[in-house]
Amino acid sequence: MSLPPLVGPGPALRPDQVSRYSRHLLVPGMGMAAQRRLLAARVAVVGAGGLGSPALAYLAAAGVGHLTIIDDDDVDATNLQRQVIHRADAVGTPKGESAAAFVRGLNPDVSVEVRHTRLEADTAEDLLRGHHVVLDGADNFPTRYAVSDACGALGIPLVWAAVLRFDAQVSTFVPGIEDAVSLRDLFPVPPRPQDVPSCSEAGVLGALVGQVGSIMAAEVVKLLCGFGEPLVGRVLLIDALSQRTREVPLRPVGAVVQPVEREHVREIVPLPEVSPREVEDLLAPDLRSGAPTLLDVREPAEHELGTLPGALLVPVGEVLNWDDLDHHLPEGPVVVYCKAGPRAQRAAAHLVRLGREDVSVMSGGILGWIEQVDPSLPSY
């Protein structure tokens, strides 16, 4: 999906700017007008960490005229493995100030504003208002939802990504277009904190955040200048371990249309959860005739590490491509699971949208099953 540019061209380029951005000016779709749009643009970057670091570096190098950096954290020595915008002598200083110093040193054309504060639901709109695009490099779901909700309310396009270990997801949400989606369509129900380990708990490949942050910066540039095809209605999945990428379509899922008088109002359908212990009880021999269908939505390579007995193995991308339930699932209740929970939430919400009512998610995914039921499986 191509979109019109978000920013009008700014003043004519000075001779030194023509030289500085000359490699941009040669790129089809860029040229003088696009570079002038970049210099007139205002972009907010939430988080100056793993994703924010490469994104800020490339946005500044590209000549985005104004960057607002929103981050309440300080630079820690453990950040330096991946947050390349910070230096060793910045440890202990605010990340926003460290990142701003890097940006100012890289490109004097770029003005920088630092907001050393935590973005929350009640402050998000005030912090993001007045920007053309928001780039979300946050590392927790409450902040991600707050950013997404504020962008939806303000009508600001949002470039979003999440990274953990060797895996990443990237998408772009543009409010107001036909079939617009948001983070709440990708994750209709917030996962519990214990189901989504942080980088400090699970680790992350440093080079992967550089790859993803650069993709996010490219998405911002395309949106501002109005060329190319942004990741709208699509989620890019990156597996750095196998160096494979794939896409899954993203539609308005987990939402139902109310009666005619409220036909424009969408409400999230709550997805019930069952614990691994409860699933084990449902699979007991004396209850087997009424046992639910187990749907494992992990990728094939993950099955080598164990599956639940009798589970159907269908990757989440295939489930999200189903247009109906004919021949896909037997009748009766369905329990969906993945590694930890987020993919299962998306798949289960899609099944609800297709009309299956008795759908639940196994909390904690296969990791929860290993912890509560069968520790003999490898804990990956």
Alpha-carbon distance 272 to 344, whole Å?
Answer: 12
Q: 334-337 and 66-70 as β-strands: parallel, antiparallel, unpaired?
A: unpaired
Distance CA 247, CA 219 (A): 15
Identify residue 85 by its one-letter amino acid code: I
State the DSSP code for 269: P
Q: Which amino acid is it at 130?
A: G
33: left (phi over 0), alpha (psi -120 to 50) or beta: alpha
Residues 340, 209, 226: CA angle, nearest 5 degrees: 105
Distance CA 53, CA 99 (A): 7
Q: How far apart are CA 219 and CA 3, in angstroms?
A: 12
Active site residue 199: yes
* Both structure tokens of 36: 């002038």
7, 338, 340, 349: the catalytic one is 338
Closest-CA residue to 52 (of 145, 200, 162) = 162
The answer to whether 336 and 321 are in contact (CB under 8 A) is no
Separation CA 297–CA 303 (nearest Å): 10
Concatenating the DSSP letter of every residue in 201-229 gives HH-B-HHHHHHHHHHHHHHHHHHHHT-S-
The DSSP annotation for 335-363 comes to: EEE-SSSHHHHHHHHHHHHTT--SEEEET
Say which of 62, 112, 196, 199 is annotated catalytic.
199
Cα 367 off chain centre by: 22
The two three-digit tokens of residue 260, written as one number:
């005619």
In angstroms, the Cα distances linking 314 to 30, 104, 298, 344, 345 are 41, 48, 7, 11, 14
Q: How far is 356 from 179, CA to CA, in rounded Å? A: 22
Measured between alpha carbons, how far is 140 from 163 in angstroms, rounded to an integer?
Answer: 11
Q: Could you list the active site residues?
A: 199, 338
